[in-house]
Structure 1
Amino acid sequence: MIRRAGLFGGTLGVALVASSSWPIVQGALAKDHGVMGQTWAIAEPDLLATIDTRLKTLQANGGIERMQTALREKTEERVRNPIPVAGIGAVRESRSWTFDPTIVLDQDIQDQKGRLVARAGQRVNPLSFVAMKTDFVFIDGRDDAQVDWALKRWTAQNAKIIFVAGSPFNRMGEKKRRFFFDQQGKLTSHFGIARVPAVVEPAGQVLKISEIEMSGAGA
């Protein structure tokens, strides 16, 4: 009881002191100390108003139209002339190997009626279900010799000719044949192709991949 009374008494004492001194403190805070230094008015321009003004200026002097034209031309140039796949050179010596396309499923596969086709963790070879009907022929589209070599050996029905460099669009107009491009080198990287010309063709349940030295292939 003594401890509680002392605690309460101390608390009450502090409260009384604070209460009695409040007018003094309040008066001290209200005192005018004059100007302590130079002051400036707060001036923060409206961001949206600034953007709107700049857009109107660009529109008035034709800046927006020029930007749109430049972007359109840059995009068209990149589509017509893709960046060459990095690290791909010309074949110096022929070599070939097999590639197993088998994958391990990370989830169950069901058909449209919900029936289980394959379980997660199961190994599946796509060639067991889907036949590969065309070869993939990878070439440097800038090299006339490689382009002519591929066109002589494969028709549009039995192969897809895929560029790792050069413009498929320019060649299509020249050769009257459809060409493709290995965007970001995803296919050559997947198959382990480092040099061209190279061919990927079905061989039973695996794929045969060949990097072909043209002088030894009757080019």
Structure 2
Amino acid sequence: MQAKDLGTRGVLSPIEEENPIVLIQKKLQSLEESGELQRHQQRLQQKTKAAVERPKPVEGLTKTEKVRVFYYDPTFVVQEDIKDHLGQVIHKKGTKINPLETVSLSEDLLFIDGDDLGQKLWAFDRIQKAAASNQKSVISHQKNNKVRLILVKGEPLALSEEWGAPVYFDQGGVLVKKLGIRHIPALVRQASSEEGLERIKEVKNDTSSTQRPSRGDCPPKGSLLRIEEGGV
């Protein structure tokens, strides 16, 4: 196939549209001269600061009316062979793995509403008792400190400054959804050896299915997370 120059027919007009980059530069210069650009930047800074100081509350949670205890099983099934850097298979597809059988939960997780004074006082008391039993400072971010405070509502930075210790926030409710927490306050800790031998009241796995195994079907001791809602 060959192309031929058939010449020019009709009237040709030059491109009169302004270069879009130049147009944007002029627009920004105009906004800067009028002060609108600075005002816009200030609004963005204020909005970002407000979101950091008071994140969006986790939805769907209510205050506990009675104590509820259940257990979470973190066991998951390997979807494909996992290999090391040498190509050796570490875990075959279909293998069930429970992270708690290898790595223990170093801290208890305490979920509270940071706007509820009663829950804050209760949480502070729990942390004091945990610190006393651990012979550490009242609140510390050390790895072996027994309680990590996580807000589902409120101002984590302000509370952290007030207590002089790290305070976390469950952004988007990722943790409470994963663990099946519906009411707060809630305390999450690794089940003790004795509890691992007891009949499990409720076991929640990654698919959120509920199982009620017999005594002999209980997972290995210490391989569950014990979740207690309430107690204030």
TM-score by length of 2: 0.70
Amino acid paired to 2:167: F
Q: Secondary structure at the match of 1:65?
A: helix
Comparing 114-123 with 86-95, greater Cα deviation is found at 114-123
Cα deviation, residue 163, structure 1? 0.2
The alignment status of 1:169 with 2:142, answered yes or no, reads no
What does residue 91 of structure 1 align with? 64
Q: What is the alpha-carbon distance in structure 1 between the residues aligned to residue 120 and residue 87 of structure 2?
A: 47
Q: Is the 8 A contact 1:92 1:213 kept in 2?
A: no
Cα deviation, residue 67, structure 1? 1.5
What does residue 136 of structure 1 align with? 109
Cα deviation, residue 133, structure 1? 1.4
What does residue 211 of structure 1 align with? 229
What does residue 189 of structure 2 align with? 201
Q: What is the alpha-carbon distance in structure 1 between the residues aligned to residue 46 and residue 28 of structure 2?
A: 21
Comparing 109-118 with 173-182, greater Cα deviation is found at 109-118
What does residue 76 of structure 1 align with? 49
Q: Is the 8 A contact 1:103 1:123 kept in 2?
A: yes
What does residue 120 of structure 2 align with? 147
Q: What is the alpha-carbon distance in structure 2 between the residues aligned to residue 84 and residue 117 of structure 1?
A: 40
Q: What is the alpha-carbon distance in structure 2 between the residues aligned to residue 127 and residue 205 of structure 1?
A: 5
Q: What is the alpha-carbon distance in structure 1 between the residues aligned to residue 87 and residue 111 of structure 2?
A: 39
1:34-81 residue CA offsets vs partner (Å, 9 max, x unmatched): xxxxxxxx9655433432221110121222222222111211110110
Q: Secondary structure at the match of 2:225?
A: strand
Among 81, 94, 97, which residue is 1:124 paired with? 97
State which structure, 1 or 2, has the greater radius of gyration over its C-alpha atoms: 1
Q: Structure 1 vs Structure 2: percent identity of aligned residues?
A: 35
Q: 5 Å matches for 1:8-87?
A: 44-87=17-60
Q: Is the 8 A contact 1:109 1:118 kept in 2?
A: yes
CA RMSD of aligned residues (A): 2.3
Q: Is the 8 A contact 1:136 1:199 kept in 2?
A: yes
Q: What is the alpha-carbon distance in structure 2 between the residues aligned to residue 55 and residue 88 of structure 1?
A: 45
1:90-146 residue CA offsets vs partner (Å, 9 max, x unmatched): 111111111111011122223455433211221100011111111111000111211
Q: Secondary structure at the match of 1:70?
A: helix
Amino acid paired to 1:98: Y
Long gaps (5+) in structure 2:
1-14, 132-139, 192-221
Provide the aligned length of Structure 1 versus Structure 2. Answer: 177
Amino acid paired to 1:127: L
1:72–1:192 distance in 2 versus 1, CA, 3 Å = same
Amino acid paired to 1:115: Q
Q: What is the alpha-carbon distance in structure 2 between the residues aligned to residue 150 and residue 182 of structure 1?
A: 16
Q: Secondary structure at the match of 2:57?
A: coil
What does residue 217 of structure 2 align with? none
